[in-house]
Amino acid sequence: MGLVKKGNKLWFFEDLYRDVTYGFEVSRVVVPETDTGFQKLMILESDRFGRVLVLDGIVQLTEEDEGIYHEWIAHWPLFALPKPAEHVLIIGGGDGGVAREVLRHKYIKKVTMAEIDKVVVDLCREHMPSISAGIFDDPRFDLIIGDGAEVIRAMKGKCDAVMIDSTDPIGPAKSLFNTSFYESVKDALKEDGITIHQTGALILQPFEAPGSWRQIERTFDDVRVVQFANVSYHGGPFSLTAGSKGKRVFRDADRNAKKNYKKAGIKTSWYSPEITAYPYPEFQKRLELDKYGEEIVMDIELPGRKRPTLNQVKKWSRDTCKAIKMLAYGEPIVSNPELGEGDTLVQYIETSAINYRRFGDKACANIFTCASLPVAEATDFSLDYFGAGSAVCWHLPRGSFAELKDVRKNTAIYKAALKTTEAHGIDIVSQKYRPKLVESAVVFAPDFRLPMERSLSSAFELIMDIYDCDYSRISNCDTVARWASVEFPKASGLAALGEPDAPDFGHAKKKTAGPSVIQLLERGSNISHFSMNWLMIVVNIVSREAYPVRKVIENAMRYFRGKTAVCWIVPRGLKTHNIADIADNTLIFSVEQK
């Protein structure tokens, strides 16, 4: 909306969200909207807020309350450091507010500010001089007009703190919100250094802080969320996400802050070490415990010569939803109404999908939720439903953003059986095994044999969690459908059956926002879910036919521009009962993009 006439008054309404906004009365347009070559800049004046800097329709600061943001982003990391900072790098921050606060620390020898947009610096200096408050005359201050993502590469190991005072991850700041940028920030830090980044309004921009949190968590040694609220950033709680190089930094941050603050004698209006103890602990805890999804994969031993019919399997899928307390989305999708040997049935559920196929006397089911999963209930229900004595189970954490060895540790392979004593409940009747950890080179070697090529099973499943994917590719139903129906069949040599089904029902939910896609295959199925929030995709491909696994993994990573993948190879439609042997043939490995 921007500037709007209301009667004989001029108002400004922020243009950040499609569906909510805030506004204020404007007493004077100080700098009318100017195209800087990077963004549109405007400086307004209001009786309530003083002068206001607006970039691309979004309020960046007001003279009245800028102190809140600038004090928190500058002092929180500086006081938390174990020893006084000497060199600070600011990325963005062209108005000078962050540099002003940093330069109040008397041990600081040098502040480098990399701002891409010279017009922001010049116009703020001219029209809002109180923000930069003379920093340009400070001999310790050094301004570089250039792209922060590039400037930072020349600063390896030089900085005690890197403060990223950017606009939102739309427009020119987009490149400051991805893992490769965070990697170069870590490289620029000295040991025990801290970075901090503005990561948006927690409620109104629900993907931003968690998204940066995930990336910083993976790149740095520790991560914290710092929260404050001001008036100009609409929507209540606002976040800064911080990363440390060194494991102890944040653990000691609270103690350091109190000590350093007292010693420094800097008077602050908004920052206080008394409220840094646990910055936003509940939000942090939620992120730590949160995982994207969880899956139980079962090869269920069907009794006698039982061959569940289509209707029976449909009912299984409906009732499974009830057992795991998930709503079904749409009707089940089947590859063949006969539902014969190896044919697939898939039922979307509100966060992902469950699916079924049968090989001989094994009913092979996958129950996957992008939420927590009541595993015992799911297993209990399926065994009971099919009247099965036992099942071989693979319990997998999905999208956990963890190290490969931790993902392996959290993957369990075991045999489950219905309790014989009571009507309900299951027992784990074998030892719990873990998948075999291998190098991707083992799986990619020309002499590698898939489980069914070694007569261990009728089919196999390739499961992939691919991280750090490209937002534009994974957020679009057409591009994911194209991958499943064109790219994947080309890479695998497997024949697609019918059209891909790529709904975006997950978009309604914050955590699972993103499309899903089912591509049935002549001899299997490819089911995947795409997370706009976590920039991650989860893929399950069941196939009776061998294909070049390397080509498929590399093709998917290339197409979605993923950086790392955790993959499992699981034998399906088991022909052996030896659980140790099954575990030994369930492989886990990671793949890095070259």
Catalytic center residues: 165
CB 116 within 8 A of CB 147: yes
- Nearest approach in angstroms of CB 98 to ligand AG3 is 6
- Nearest approach in angstroms of CB 423 to ligand AG3 is 54
Instruction: Name the residue nearer to ligand AG3 (CB basis): 55 or 108.
Output: 55
* CA gap 423, 125 in Å, rounded: 76
Instruction: Name the residue nearer to ligand AG3 (CB basis): 58 or 324.
Output: 58
Q: Find the binder of ligand AG3 among 41, 43, 58, 464 (CB under 6 A).
A: 58
Stretch that binds ligand AG3, among 54-62, 351-359, 442-450, 479-487 (CB under 6 A): 54-62
Stretch that binds ligand AG3, among 31-39, 194-202, 338-346, 373-381 (CB under 6 A): 194-202
Instruction: Name the residue nearer to ligand AG3 (CB basis): 75 or 234.
Output: 234
CB 509 within 8 A of CB 516: no
Instruction: Name the residue nearer to ligand AG3 (CB basis): 128 or 552.
Output: 128
To the nearest 10°, the Cα dihedral for 262, 268, 269, 270? -80
Q: Find the binder of ligand AG3 among 26, 31, 61, 450 (CB under 6 A).
A: 61
Stretch that binds ligand AG3, among 106-114, 165-173, 216-224, 570-578 (CB under 6 A): 165-173
Amino acid at 358: R
- How big is the chain, counted in residues? 594
CB 556 within 8 A of CB 536: no
- Nearest approach in angstroms of CB 394 to ligand AG3 is 42
CB 71 within 8 A of CB 101: yes
CB 428 within 8 A of CB 446: no
* CA gap 183, 173 in Å, rounded: 16
Stretch that binds ligand AG3, among 198-206, 216-224, 378-386, 489-497 (CB under 6 A): 198-206
Name the closest residue to ligand AG3 (Cβ). 233
**Backbone φ, ψ for residue 198 (5° rounding):** -75, 130
- Nearest approach in angstroms of CB 93 to ligand AG3 is 5
Count of residues engaged in binding ligand AG3, rule: CB under 6 A: 17
Kind plus residue range of the DSSP H or E element containing 490: helix 488-492
- Nearest approach in angstroms of CB 518 to ligand AG3 is 36
* Of residues 550, 559, 529, 528, the one with CA closest to residue 541: 528
533 binds ligand AG3 (CB under 6 A): no
Instruction: Name the residue nearer to ligand AG3 (CB basis): 205 or 355.
Output: 205
162 binds ligand AG3 (CB under 6 A): no
Q: Find the binder of ligand AG3 among 101, 117, 168, 461 (CB under 6 A).
A: 168
Q: Find the binder of ligand AG3 among 200, 246, 451, 562 (CB under 6 A).
A: 200
Q: Find the binder of ligand AG3 among 62, 112, 198, 457 (CB under 6 A).
A: 198
Beta-bridged to residue 459, according to DSSP, are 572
* CA gap 538, 174 in Å, rounded: 24
Count CB neighbours of 48 within 10 A: 11
* CA gap 24, 374 in Å, rounded: 49
Kind plus residue range of the DSSP H or E element containing 359: strand 353-359
* CA gap 212, 226 in Å, rounded: 13
Instruction: Name the residue nearer to ligand AG3 (CB basis): 213 or 559.
Output: 213
Q: Output the DSSP codes for 274-310.
A: GG-SSSSHHHHHHHHH--SEEEEEEEEE--TT----H
* Residue 561 burial class via C-beta count within 10 angstroms: exposed 0-12, middle 13-18, buried 19 and up: middle
Q: Find the binder of ligand AG3 among 49, 233, 280, 483 (CB under 6 A).
A: 233
Stretch that binds ligand AG3, among 29-37, 55-63, 389-397, 430-438 (CB under 6 A): 55-63
- Nearest approach in angstroms of CB 535 to ligand AG3 is 19
How far is CA 114 from its chain centroid? 27
* Residue 171 burial class via C-beta count within 10 angstroms: exposed 0-12, middle 13-18, buried 19 and up: middle
- Nearest approach in angstroms of CB 153 to ligand AG3 is 23
CB 346 within 8 A of CB 310: no
Q: Find the binder of ligand AG3 among 201, 334, 365, 541 (CB under 6 A).
A: 201
Instruction: Name the residue nearer to ligand AG3 (CB basis): 61 or 114.
Output: 61
Record the tokens describing residue 175, joined without a space: 């490149």
The CA-CA-CA angle for residues 219, 470, 527, to 5°, reads 105
Instruction: Name the residue nearer to ligand AG3 (CB basis): 205 or 479.
Output: 205
Please give the residues from 68 up to 127 whose contact with ligand AG3 meets the rule CB under 6 A. Answer: 93, 95, 97-98
Instruction: Name the residue nearer to ligand AG3 (CB basis): 16 or 527.
Output: 16
Stretch that binds ligand AG3, among 101-109, 160-168, 244-252, 571-579 (CB under 6 A): 160-168
Q: What is the DSSP letter of 372?
A: -
- Nearest approach in angstroms of CB 504 to ligand AG3 is 25
Applying CB under 6 A, which residues contact ligand AG3? 16, 58, 60-61, 93, 95, 97-98, 165, 167-168, 198, 200-201, 205, 233-234
